[in-house]
Every structure is written in C-alpha cells, then in structure tokens.
DNA sequence: GTCTATAAATAGATAGAC
DNA sequence: GTCTATCTATTTATAGAC
C-alpha cells in the first residue's frame, strides 16, 4: 500500500475478526520498568477517555484527531506516537466499551427469585445509563451503523452470555416461578427501555425537562421500568 | 462570510429554530409549469432518498456528497444545483423524517379500549420499524448525538402531541380502565422496545440470526412486545 | 517521547461553458 | 439544467530535529 494516507470514509466496514487492542507492547522493544508501563497506559487511557466523549457525541467521522488530542491535553503528533491511526483509537475505545457494556449482564444473578433478580438487573442497567451515558451512546451509534467492528464479538462473547441467561429464564418459567415469556425478547425489552434514557436523553429532556443527572429521576425511571417489565411477568391464577 | 467552504465539523449544533426545508421556490424565479415543478420535486426526492440511506448508515460526516450524488444517479455538480450545501440535504432528510416518525403517534387512537388501542399502537410502531428502518436509524443517530437540528421540533410539535396523549392515558387510569402507570414512561417504553428492532438490528441479527425482513419475526416481535408492555397494565382485583 | 514543519489527499463548493 | 475543470480549507499522517 506504500504511503499511508487518508482512506475513503466508507469501508468502515471490512473490519477484521478479533478486535484486539494494540497494546504498547507492540511498539519497538525497550526495557520497560513497571513505572514506565504505567505512565504509558495512563496516557493511552486519557486519550481513550477524550476520544469516547467526542466519538459518542460527534461520531467517528465527525471527530478530528486534533480535537481528541486537545481534549486529552496532548499534542496531535504525540497522540500518533501512542496510536497508529485514528481508527486505532476508535478500536481502542470500542474494545473497552464492550467490556463495560457486558458487565451488568455478566453480573445478572439469575439463581435467585426471578422477579427480584430481573428487578435488580434493571436497576443496574439504569445505573449504567446514568454513570456511563457516553459509553451507552457510542455503543448505540455503533449498533445503528451496523456494528462493523463489533460484529464478531456480538456473535461470540455476547451470544454465549445471552444464550446462557436465556436458558435460566426458561428454567424459571418451566418451574412455574415466572410467566411464560420469550427470554430473548424479554432481554431486548430490558436493554431497550433502560438504555433509552441515556441514548435518547435529548428527547427525554425535550419532553420532561430532566434526565439521569437528577437522582430522583433515576429512581423514578427504575421504578417505572421495573413496573412495566415485571408486572406482566408475575405468575397469576387466571393464566 | 465571503468564500463559502467546509466549515469545522463541530458546530453541527448551533442550529437555528424552525428547520424549514428550503424548497425549489427559493431558487431564482422562473415561470414554472406544474410539470416542471413535479420534475424538480422528483429529483429532489431521489436525492433525499439516497441521502437517507447513506446518512443512516454512515452518519452525516461519514457520507460524502459524491456518494449521495452517485447513489441518486446525478452528478455532484447537479446535486449542488438542487441543494445549497450538504447540510441543506441533511436538513431536508431530517425534515421528512420527523413527519414520518410522528405519524403513528398522531394516529394513536386513544378513544377506544386502552389495551386494544395501545396494542394497535405497538403493532404500528413495529411495522414502522420494518418499513422504515433507515428512517428509524437516522432518527436514532440524531437523538443520540444530541438532536441539534431537531431540538426545537421536539420541544414544540412532539411535546404537544405527547402531552395530549399522556392526558388520555391518565384519563383511562382515572376511569379504572387501566392500571396506574406514568404515561410518559409508558410511551418511552413503547418507543424503545419497538424501535430497538430497527435500530439494534445488527445486534438482534447477531443473536437470533433474523430480523424484521422476516415476516414471521415481525409477528413474533409484535406479540412479545404487546405481551410485555400490556400484561402488567390490565386492571386486576389484587391491586 | 515530544515538538516543528510539512506532505498527501479528500471533499465541499464554485466558475463558467454549453 | 447539466457538465468539465478547478479552487481551497481541512484533516490524517509522517519526517526529522532535539
């Protein structure tokens, strides 16, 4: 390919398989003290933080490297010392993102009472929307645009996890502890409703003049989502 | 401002108030036959269609004017004859979008039985996700990024409509025909769950290997969303 | 590791002929 | 209305000194 330069905007898509975060270790070898490595990771982290804030607001192509550098308080040239390209930064951000996004699902305690367990999951997802709105929005942006970079992870890590949790939900229903419901659509409904308050925050704000910044609203959202999702799932005699 | 040229990527935001679609009438006056106007509108429409497909997939900054032109089968120069700028195209697309997006809400028949009415609204929203996935996704993209161009419309047209429908839902509850629920959160839940299958189609596909292209899946989604949303809302003795 | 140029190319937009 | 040619700012990325 010779001279590397700006590539056409489109093939965002071709996207390789594993989505591996190129670590500093890939750089020309040099004796690295623990301290040195720590400083490098700190700087990389600061750049990724700045990039998340910008990518989630303006998208990949709406954000310039210059902006990321300025926000992270490093020079543009310096940024290119830590990351091979803008796309490399983007991949780095997405990589951290998926882990964060998956965390509440991993922690979903399905070995308890279903109503309690699902209620707690909803609470944690709402909390995630509150504490990581930018992560939620960038994840959303990436999904909406076809998830070119995450597709592989979705089909492996995510699918495995979701399949396992779906099985437990089926078990609850079979045991008569939960009304009959398709577990996948239930999980989608929980994701959709809880993420909505982060992803569509501008719409919520336009209509209600508030958002997850307000702690009382967080409580209100949690209560209402729990009610909507759970009240139809209790076991009733008239079924 | 003199020479017009590319503006900095960011202030996507400053965004004026009304979001008016600059019509062909704004062009230098010339005697226009009905036929002529029709051809102009047809061409503008074709460009907007192409732009919707691309903007919804790659975002505003990820799409080039060249691509829009090629997709619409016109030359780039010709496109600039019909639209003053790339942003002008974008505003044109968004303007059509909001109308489409609002349509099912307008048609929401709240003067019938609540369970039936809300069930029908869900059905129509799922159908919209099926028939207008690109519109749904671009709307989502715009919301996630802060809705700079739609903010005004959200605070006026949308708010007015939603407030009105919320009042009816409250009426149902007061009349004992519907369980007690916050109408806004109910509406958010319906939007979130139904739009999810268009906006997060790539995630749904990664997990279930299907999507709204499949008519049976459309039915499945409709049934499940209706069940999840509605089953908790019926009036029960044990309340 | 960090900085000062600067290269290379894209992409939005216009001029002006037909 | 449509096309060919072109202008120019922006932006990604690199070279090379310190």
* Partners of residue B230 in chain A, C-beta under 8 Å: 232
How much is the pLDDT for A1? 35
Comparing CB atoms, the residue among A10, A140, A192 nearest residue B193 is A192
Express each pLDDT in A192-216 by its tens digit: 999 999 999 999 999 999 999 999 9
Measure A140 CA to D4 C1' (Å).
42
- Tell me if A62 and B203 make a contact (CB, 8 A cut-off): no
pTM, full prediction: 0.92
- Tell me if B188 and A193 make a contact (CB, 8 A cut-off): yes
Provide the 8-state DSSP code for B11.
-
Query: What is the rounded average pLDDT of the residues A18-32?
Result: 56
- Residue A6 contacts strand C, CB under 7 A: yes
A-B C-beta contacts closer than 8 Å: 197
Write the CA distances from A104 to A97, A101, A125, B218, integer angstroms: 13, 7, 7, 28
Residue A14 scores a pLDDT above 50: no
Residue A85 scores a pLDDT above 90: yes
**Mutate: best of A57, A192, A195, A223, partner B, most B CBs <10 A:** A192
- Tell me if A182 and B220 make a contact (CB, 8 A cut-off): yes
* Partners of residue A58 in chain B, C-beta under 8 Å: 9-10, 12, 61, 145
Q: Closest nucleotide to residue A79 (Cα to C1')?
A: C2
pLDDT band (50, 70, 90) for residue A16: very low
The alpha carbon torsion through A25, A28, A32, A37 (nearest 10 deg) reads -40
How would you write the pLDDT of chain B (239 residues) with one tens digit per residue? 334 445 555 655 544 456 765 554 455 555 568 888 999 999 999 999 999 999 999 999 999 999 999 999 999 999 999 999 999 999 999 999 999 999 999 988 777 999 999 999 999 999 999 999 999 999 999 999 999 999 999 999 999 999 999 999 999 999 999 999 999 999 999 999 999 999 999 999 999 999 999 999 999 999 999 999 999 888 865 54
Measure B51 CA to D15 C1' (Å).
40
Express each pLDDT in A171-199 by its tens digit: 999 999 999 999 999 999 999 999 999 99
Residue A3 scores a pLDDT above 80: no
- Residue B237 contacts strand D, CB under 7 A: no
Q: Write down all domains in chain A, each with its CATH number in brackets.
A: 35-83 (1.10.10.60), 86-231 (1.10.357.10)
- Chain B nearest-CA distance from A120, in A, is 18
- Residue A74 contacts strand C, CB under 7 A: yes
Residue A29 scores a pLDDT above 90: no
How much is the pLDDT for A33? 82
| Residues A26, A44 contacting (CB under 8 angstroms) | no
- Tell me if A202 and B147 make a contact (CB, 8 A cut-off): yes
Query: What is the rounded average pLDDT of the residues A54-81?
Result: 98
Q: Which residue has the higher pLDDT, A111 or A189?
A: A189
Secondary structure (H, E, C), chain B = CCCCCCCCCCCCCCCCCCCCCCCHHHCCCCCCCHHHHHHHHHHHHHHHHHHHHHHHHHHHHHCCHHHHHHHCCCCHHHHHHHCCCHHHHHHHHHHHHHHHHHHHHHCCCCCCCHHHHHHHHHHHHHHHHHHCHHHHHHHHHHHHCCCCCCHHHHHHHHHHHHHHHHHHHHHHHHCCCCCCCCHHHHHHHHHHHHHHHHHCHHHHHHHHCCCCCCHHHHHHHHHHHHHHHHCCCCCCCCC
pLDDT band (50, 70, 90) for residue A2: very low
- Tell me if A197 and B184 make a contact (CB, 8 A cut-off): no
How much is the pLDDT for A17? 58
How much is the pLDDT for B232? 85
- Tell me if B182 and A206 make a contact (CB, 8 A cut-off): no
Write the CA distances from A95 to A92, A125, A148, B57, B227, integer angstroms: 5, 19, 13, 21, 35
């Amino acid at each position: 390919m010779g001279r590397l330069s700006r590539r056409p905007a489109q093939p965002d898509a071709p996207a390789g398989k594993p989505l591996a975060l190129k670590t500093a270790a890939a750089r020309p070898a040099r004796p690295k003290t623990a301290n040195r490595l720590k400083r490098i990771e700190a700087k990389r982290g600061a750049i990724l933080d700045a990039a998340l804030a910008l990518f989630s607001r303006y998208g990949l192509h709406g954000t310039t490297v210059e902006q990321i550098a300025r926000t992270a308080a490093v020079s543009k040239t310096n940024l290119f010392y830590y990351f091979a390209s803008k796309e490399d930064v983007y991949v780095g951000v997405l990589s951290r993102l998926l882990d964060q996004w998956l965390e509440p699902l991993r922690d979903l305690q399905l070995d308890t009472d279903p109503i309690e367990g699902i209620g707690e999951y909803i609470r944690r997802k709402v909390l995630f929307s509150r504490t990581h709105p930018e992560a939620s929005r960038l994840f959303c942006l990436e999904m909406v645009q076809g998830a070119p970079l995450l597709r592989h992870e979705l089909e492996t890590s995510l699918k495995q996890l979701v399949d396992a949790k779906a099985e437990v939900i089926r078990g609850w229903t079979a045991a008569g502890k939960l009304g009959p419901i398709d577990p996948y659509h239930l999980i989608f409904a929980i994701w959709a409703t809880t993420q909505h308050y982060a992803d569509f925050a501008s719409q919520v704000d336009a209509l209600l003049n508030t958002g997850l910044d307000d702690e009382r609203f967080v409580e209100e959202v949690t209560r209402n989502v729990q009610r909507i999702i759970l009240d139809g799932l209790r076991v009733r005699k008239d079924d």
